[in-house]
């Protein structure tokens, strides 16, 4: 996670400096085809180029909502890297773990810029793989003393508390209600697959930083309307998917209401937190550039260590 935080922060800075190319995710909703056998699947193509890192690639990811019943991950992903000079395919790697760790790191970088430096109480709403990565990232950055975790499945929340509490040496308390988790927290992270209000405005204290990481709206709209600052990882993506999408479609939220993108803060183009009373919200949809940046590191580290499997995909060209 410390390495991922460094990479993700660097990629955010590249975005803020305007030295990245990353179109919005291309979406394939298989349910739109009448005779498709996979009615629960959503595929996403996420290309990116990072100039200063000389990295270009694509994450090909998908959400299969029924996969947990098949003992498979909810998110399946692969990352492809290409040589920016020749277009030759450099590497293919599993992208699920990269997705998990860079998602946690993205929240961590935002917390570094936007949360109170004295933040000690954290609420994690959603105790899955992503929830675990969120608290791993935050524990690298803050003197956390109190963690509350809420999940629709109480047993999952208990497992989270036991496993992550032991791993990180933290006091983690499972809660039975969203309100119990959120009230009094310095940082609230929603990271679920729900499409409902999980955190209400009256539960949020002055000075709170809130990260919406799920793919659907999870926050009371009044939180967004009354926040001192609302940021996104990418406006091009957030205006059509995720926490803000319905409000944008209804004409209740637009770019005029946005403080900016996290990359602008990391690059020093906009201020982060300016006082301990600000309520700041950051909405994440996930950047393909973060996947490519992390994958580039993995590729270079694999070469350095002499690990991985070589295959002659371009043998005829190279011959």
Superfamily the domain 111-287 falls into: NAD(P)-binding Rossmann-like Domain (3.40.50.720)
Considering only CA atoms, which of 260, 240, 233 is closest in space to residue 108?
Answer: 233
Check residue 46 and give its pLDDT.
97
| Per-residue pLDDT tens digits for 178-231 | 999 999 999 999 999 899 999 999 999 999 999 999 888 999 999 999 999 999
Looking at the chain, which residues constitute the CATH 3.40.50.720 domain(s)?
A: 111-287
| Per-residue pLDDT tens digits for 119-157 | 999 999 999 999 999 999 999 999 999 999 999 999 999
| Per-residue pLDDT tens digits for 257-266 | 999 999 999 9
User: Does residue 120 have an active-site annotation?
Assistant: no
Give the pLDDT band (50/70/90) at residue 317. Answer: low
Looking at the chain, which residues constitute the CATH 3.30.1780.10 domain(s)?
A: 2-98+289-318
Check residue 131 and give its pLDDT.
96
Pick the catalytic residue from 59, 116, 229, 239.
59
DSSP 3-state assignment of 81?
strand
Give the pLDDT band (50/70/90) at residue 117. Answer: very high
pTM of the full structure: 0.94
Check residue 315 and give its pLDDT.
62
Domain 2-98+289-318 has CATH 3.40.640.10: no
- Ordered alpha helix ranges (H), the chain: 2-16, 96-114, 129-139, 154-168, 178-182, 221-226, 235-238, 245-249, 262-266, 288-305, 315-318
| Per-residue pLDDT tens digits for 235-270 | 999 999 899 999 999 999 999 999 999 999 999 999
């Amino acid at each position: 996670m410390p390495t991922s935080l460094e990479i993700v922060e660097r990629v955010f800075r590249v975005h803020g400096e305007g030295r990245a190319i990353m179109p919005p995710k291309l979406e394939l909703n298989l349910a739109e085809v009448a005779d498709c056998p996979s009615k629960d699947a959503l595929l996403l193509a996420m290309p990116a180029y990072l100039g200063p890192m000389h990295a270009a690639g694509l994450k090909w990811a998908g959400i299969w909502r029924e996969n947990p019943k098949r003992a498979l991950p909810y998110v399946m992903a692969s990352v492809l890297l290409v040589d920016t000079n020749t277009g030759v395919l450099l590497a293919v790697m599993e992208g699920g773990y990269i997705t998990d760790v860079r998602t946690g790191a993205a929240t961590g970088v935002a917390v570094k810029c936007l949360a109170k430096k004295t933040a000690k109480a954290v609420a994690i709403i959603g105790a899955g793989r992503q929830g675990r990565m969120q608290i791993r990232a935050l524990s690298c950055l803050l003197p956390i003393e109190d963690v509350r975790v809420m999940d629709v499945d109480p047993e999952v929340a208990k497992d989270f508390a036991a496993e992550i509490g032991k791993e990180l040496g933290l006091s983690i308390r499972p809660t039975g209600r969203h309100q119990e988790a959120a009230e009094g927290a310095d940082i609230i992270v929603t990271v679920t697959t729900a499409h409902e209000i999980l955190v209400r405005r009256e539960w949020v204290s002055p000075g709170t930083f809130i990260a919406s990481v799920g793919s659907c709206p999870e926050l009371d709209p009044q939180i967004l309307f009354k926040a001192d600052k609302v940021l996104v990882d990418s406006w091009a993506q957030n205006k059509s998917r995720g926490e803000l999408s319905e409000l944008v479609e209804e004409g209740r939220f637009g770019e005029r209401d946005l403080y900016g993108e996290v990359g602008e803060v990391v690059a020093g183009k906009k201020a982060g937190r300016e006082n301990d009373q600000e309520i700041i919200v950051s909405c994440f949809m996930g950047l393909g550039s973060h996947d490519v940046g992390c994958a580039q590191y993995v590729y270079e580290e694999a070469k350095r260590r002499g690990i991985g499997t070589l295959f002659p995909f371009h043998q005829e060209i190279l011959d």
